[in-house]
Amino acid sequence: MSISILVVDDDVNSREVLALLLSGEGYGVDVCEGPLEALQELSARAYDILLTDYVMPAMSGLELTRRASALHGALRCFIITGQPPPATLDLGQVTWVAKPLDFDELLVAMNS
């Protein structure tokens, strides 16, 4: 069975390119344009991995990962951002992925 990934990004180009690249690697990928849509999707279906942008309208990617983890404790969460992680963040909760995104590094992190 393929690993299922939910990609959440308010930027359509980033979201679609990442989905295309991940699909090409054999992952099952769904996309959402924002956190509220993602929470609805996560309420309806379990995913293995959540890849989300950090800065989005309605709520941050960090808040999304907190809520998503409450729904699915085994969900692996990755935040893709150009910003440093908050000083108070326990990095055990999420994997912080720097922009510009290095796709090969993301794959290594996802498979470790």
pLDDT tens profile 12-45: 999 999 999 999 999 999 999 999 999 999 999 9
Grade residue 107 by pLDDT with cuts at 50, 70 and 90.
Answer: very high
DSSP string, 11-74: SHHHHHHHHHHHHHTT-EEEEESSHHHHHHHHHH---SEEEEESS-SSS-HHHHHHHHHHH-TT
| Number of domains the chain is built from | 1
> 57-67 pLDDT, tens per residue?
889 999 999 99
Range of the domain at 28: 4-110
Sign of CA dihedral 73, 41, 39, 44: negative
Task: Determine phi and psi for 39, rounding to 5 degrees.
Answer: -65, -35
CATH code, 11: 3.40.50.2300
